Amino acid sequence: MHYAPAPLHIPDGFLNLVVSLTFWALTIIAVGIAISKTNKALGEKQVPLMGIMAAFIFAAQMLNFPVAGGTSGHFLGGALAAIVLGPWAAILVMTAVIAVQGLLFQDGGLLVMGANIFNMGILTAMIGFGLYRMVSASANKTLKLAVAGVGAWISTVAAALLTSLQLWISGTSSLQIVVPAMLGVHVLIGIGEALVTVAALAFIMQARPDLLEAETVAEKGGRSWIAAGVIMSLAAVLLSPLASGDPDGLERVAEDFGFLQAGLEAPYQILPDYTIPFLGETALSTIVAGIVGALVVLGLMVVIGGMLKKRNA
Amino acid sequence: MHADAFDRYYAAESPLHRLDPRVKVIVTVAFILSNALLPDGAWAAFGLGWIFLLLANSASNLGIDFTFRRSFIALPFMLVAVSAIFAPSGQPLAEWTVGGISLVPTDAGLIRFGSILLRTWLSVQAGILLVAVTPFPDLIHAFEHLRIPAVLTTIIAFLYRYLFVLTDEVLRLLRARDSRSAALPGQKSGQTVFWRAQIAGNMAGQLFLRSYERSDRIYNAMLARGYTGQMRTLRAHVMRRRDWLVFSISLMMLLLVQLIGRLG
């Protein structure tokens, strides 16, 4: 009901385990820091403010505006959230939004949720806030709005680019097709995002300028965000034409570094083909491997059980 | 809008509904993980996974095709994987020329595409079933038990609780815009796309301020009722013998799926 799936949410099955777990690890680190940072800044007000803001992003994604030929522009909100709430709070807010979209509406998978949160929450916060932070102290409103718009646009394009690269490394799509398709669509979607972000920000500047004062913004995130934002933006801007104009070149580079192979070969196989290395490929080896597998599962169950019991007590 | 407008829970009396939510969460994640671990073309294992899903469906008393009928939501994204069919490795099956580009589907590419399709299809159905048989607050409680930071689960609980309130706010804004955007038949309403985007932006800004100020009011109301930064729950979930049994059998079955996928 009233829910339109957004095109950047990757479902389960599209990313291989290595890519999924790598991005889960990055996301867990970022969210962990975000929790402690916002807790320090907001205290017990953290939960209600972040919760309502997450509901705001969720609801704002229903705001659409007719573009042409029956299609309409939608709003993702990651960059706006980062500019108004600060990057750490925005990461938490987007994490909650993407978690509920994946859990409740199956828009985006569970195993790949780390990648989804990174693409749409963390990367957009870095770029959106990082670029805005450069000019946040300036008195020139037009400049601030322009930079915010550019940040919103680049963050949308960068999220699309990273999504395509993840799909490619996972062996789901070929680079020659996915990059031009994704970038082509999101370069346009990004313009809509930028326009809505600028207009919303102008509105907030008028109505509640206290939320956007230079000192308030500085409190929300230090100057090191500028570096993160600029580096990520540059990477996106430089990599996009390379990836769409010369995909074969990028593929060659990836092969040279061997990381394409790593992605496809799945180094998660601790027991390759269910054989124990030193026993060779015999029936005994398979049986032993099966027993080892069963023991691992049993051990996991005992550990999980212990954790649950502790919580119950 | 009614408070449960976003609810995906289907109330029923069934063994799956009564199961401890933690077991449901872990088994769902394990099922999705198991799909991701299966090698391409392990059709027998995918089939067994589907049987597992059907068993779970029938244990939910919601109908054996309950998840299947709702599973088409992820299919639009399959377009992204179509290009896997043209993977350069493998035997070429045909050659099509579309707009000057030659497309060569290969057997390896076709197997890859089919495997991705099945993995996604199975995983999406598992997620649908999980939220259909578990009330959302129970689900969040289960995540808390599984060591997801309480701050995050509480934020998600808040998002869920206020989602329909803010959706009402959006619907009011959209209705207001519609009532001011009358157009003569055959004539264009509104101005340029830029103008329309600006209106949408003003609405987003308006919505943001209303939400921000609402969170202040909610926070004050919570303080007045003795909020100390901690959420409390009166519902204690206890693992019973039946829960452990279902838990072990499910994991053993997933292990079997893996063994068949590797050996078959």
Q: How does pLDDT run across A177-230, given as a tens digit for each residue?
A: 788 888 888 888 888 888 889 999 999 998 888 888 877 788 788 888 888 888
Instruction: Give the nearest partner residue to B124 out of A12, A54, A95, using CB atoms.
Output: A12
Question: What's residue A268's pLDDT?
Answer: 41
pLDDT bin (cut points 50, 70, 90) of residue B133 is very high
Three-state SS for chain A is CCCCCCCCCCCCCCCCHHHHHHHHHHHHHHHHHHHHHHHHHHHHHHHHHHHHHHHHHHHHCCCCEEEECCEEECCCCHHHHHHHHCHHHHHHHHHHHHHHHHHHHCCCCCCCHHHHHHHHHHHHHHHHHHHHHHHCCCCCHHHHHHHHHHHHHHHHHHHHHHHHHHHHHCCCCCHHHHHHHHHHHHHHHHHHHHHHHHHHHHHHHHHCHHHHCHHHHHHHCCCHHHHHHHHHHHHHHHHHHHHHHCHHHHHHHHHHHCHHHHHHHCCCCCCHHHCCHHHCCCHHHHHHHHHHHHHHHHHHHHHHHHHHHHHHC
Q: How does pLDDT run across B186-240, given as a tens digit for each residue?
A: 776 667 778 888 888 889 899 999 998 888 898 889 889 887 766 666 667 788 8
Tell me the ipTM for this assembly: 0.86
- Residues in chain A closer than 8 A to B148 (CB atoms): none
Between the CA of residue A249 and those of A231, B26, B220, what are the distances in Å? 22, 42, 58
Q: How far is B94 from chain A (nearest CA, A)?
A: 18
- Closest to B121 in 3D by CA, of B47, B198, B221: B47
Torsion angle of alpha carbons B103, B106, B108, B112, nearest 10°?
A: 40
Asked if the Cβ–Cβ distance from A99 to B156 is below 8 Å, we say yes
Asked if the Cβ–Cβ distance from B199 to A312 is below 8 Å, we say no
Instruction: Give the nearest partner residue to B83 out of A50, A177, A202, using CB atoms.
Output: A177
Asked if the Cβ–Cβ distance from B255 to A67 is below 8 Å, we say no
To probe the interface with A, which of B82, B155, B223 has the most A CB atoms within 10 Å?
B155
Looking at per-residue confidence, does A262 or A242 come out higher? Answer: A242
B263: pLDDT strictly greater than 70: yes
- Interface size A-B, in CB pairs within 8 Å, comes to 300
Question: What's residue A155's pLDDT?
Answer: 93
Locus of tokens 């010369």:
A246
Asked if the Cβ–Cβ distance from A207 to B205 is below 8 Å, we say yes
Instruction: Give the nearest partner residue to A311 out of B36, B145, B214, using CB atoms.
Output: B145
B248: pLDDT strictly greater than 60: yes
Question: What's residue A1's pLDDT?
Answer: 32
Residue of chain A nearest B166, judged by CA positions:
A59
**CA dihedral sign of residues A203, A129, A19, B37:** negative
Asked if the Cβ–Cβ distance from A171 to B87 is below 8 Å, we say yes
Alpha-carbon distance B27 to A31, whole Å? 25
Question: What's residue B33's pLDDT?
Answer: 92
CB of A273 less than 8 A from some CB of B: yes
Alpha-carbon distance B148 to A71, whole Å? 39
B72: pLDDT strictly greater than 70: yes
CB atoms within 10 A of CB B223: 13
Q: Dihedrals φ, ψ of B96, to 5°?
A: -115, 145
Asked if the Cβ–Cβ distance from B214 to A60 is below 8 Å, we say no
A133: pLDDT strictly greater than 70: yes
Instruction: Give the nearest partner residue to A48 out of B117, B127, B222, using CB atoms.
Output: B222
Its pTM surpasses 0.90: no
**A59-84: average pLDDT:** 74
Q: How does pLDDT run across A3-20, given as a tens digit for each residue?
A: 444 567 888 888 888 899
Question: What's residue A262's pLDDT?
Answer: 47
- Residues in chain A closer than 8 A to B81 (CB atoms): 14, 167, 172-173
Asked if the Cβ–Cβ distance from B200 to A73 is below 8 Å, we say yes
Looking at per-residue confidence, does A128 or B264 come out higher? Answer: A128
Q: How far is A172 from chain B (nearest CA, A)?
A: 5
A275: pLDDT strictly greater than 60: no
Residues 16-75 of A with CB under 8 A from B: 16-17, 20, 31-32, 35, 39, 43-56, 58-60, 62-68, 73, 75
Alpha-carbon distance A124 to A232, whole Å? 10
Q: How far is A194 from chain B (nearest CA, A)?
A: 9
Q: How far is A98 from chain B (nearest CA, A)?
A: 10
Query: Do strands A65-68 and A71-73 pair parallel, antiparallel, or not at all (unpaired)?
Result: antiparallel
Share of chain A above pLDDT 70, in %: 72
pLDDT bin (cut points 50, 70, 90) of residue A305 is low
Question: What's residue A21's pLDDT?
Answer: 92
B44: pLDDT strictly greater than 60: yes
Q: How far is A225 from chain B (nearest CA, A)?
A: 23
- Residues in chain B closer than 8 A to A111 (CB atoms): 29, 32-33, 36, 123
pLDDT bin (cut points 50, 70, 90) of residue B110 is confident
To probe the interface with A, which of B159, B222, B244, B254 has the most A CB atoms within 10 Å?
B159
Asked if the Cβ–Cβ distance from A207 to B238 is below 8 Å, we say no
A274: pLDDT strictly greater than 60: no
**A111-139: average pLDDT:** 92
- Residues in chain B closer than 8 A to A5 (CB atoms): 73, 76
